[in-house]
Structure 1
Amino acid sequence: MDELEEYSQSIESKWQQAYFELAKVIEQNIPEGFVLKMQYGMPTYVVPLETFPEGYLNRTYEPLPFISLAAQKNHLSLYHMGLIGNKDLLNWFHEEYKKQVPTKLNMGKSCIRFSNPKHIPYSLIGELVRKISVEEWIKSYVTFSKNTKRR
């Protein structure tokens, strides 16, 4: 059994249905070129090193993460790295979330937390996932990295 299978079998029963539905939405909408693997202890779509050999944080052994999905004790976490430093995408997501979900958005820099499986906006997440290609993500990451190093 590989790490991805082990992870999926370890998800608490109260989160399983929502987790697998969210994972399916991501898989169906992720642009071509991203690869699913375990990274930081959770399933993560990454830019493979063959595509971006510089790696994450200039670690040539670590692929650039894009989207991760984790089942925590009290919520599901969707980490979308493309939201960091992309004000237009972040504003779009905030506005669409307000229109589609009756509960307040629980979000950190890149982490969207869902504590109620009944209020997960699956179609909105699918649309969010589709919005950035591998090429766009690499360009955004490189630009953001250079801008944060200057500070």
Structure 2
Amino acid sequence: MWTKLSVITMPLNGSEPVERAGHTLTVLRKINGKWLLARDASAVIEGLSKDFSNATGIGIEHITATWEVLPSGHYAVGGKTALQQPPTSHPVLVDLLAPDFNADESIEKMLRAVSSNISKRADVPINNIFINCRKAHSGMVFDAGEIVHW
């Protein structure tokens, strides 16, 4: 569910109030016939980005994160689909794209940071997270209007 969120802060020094507004993706789960908040995807990916930056030392300006929700029945593991995210099957799928100049130890640090933070922030058991790391190569990336070389 897309939600419009608006927050107004009233500075203590008496200056003009500041409003921040935008859309947030909220994921609901039906439990015992009632729709309950499962997670706020916007808050999760913002937190994941900050946690990843802190854990790896990579500047937040170099981190992009997305959260996609697969419709019920659109993800099969062992030939079986699920109506919602089970705690022991149908792992959360993560695609980590990292520049190829990173050493294997750095990639392992990234994998640990992503998995532990998804587990913490999205309340997913760490053993139910699947991460595939792909390496981006110099001259094979187009970003900000140009081919990127490093």
TM normalised by structure 1 equals 0.31
Which of the pair has the greater relative contact order for Cα pairs under 8 Å at 6+ separation? 1
Q: Which has the higher strand share?
A: 2
TM normalised by structure 2 equals 0.32
Which one has the largest radius of gyration?
2
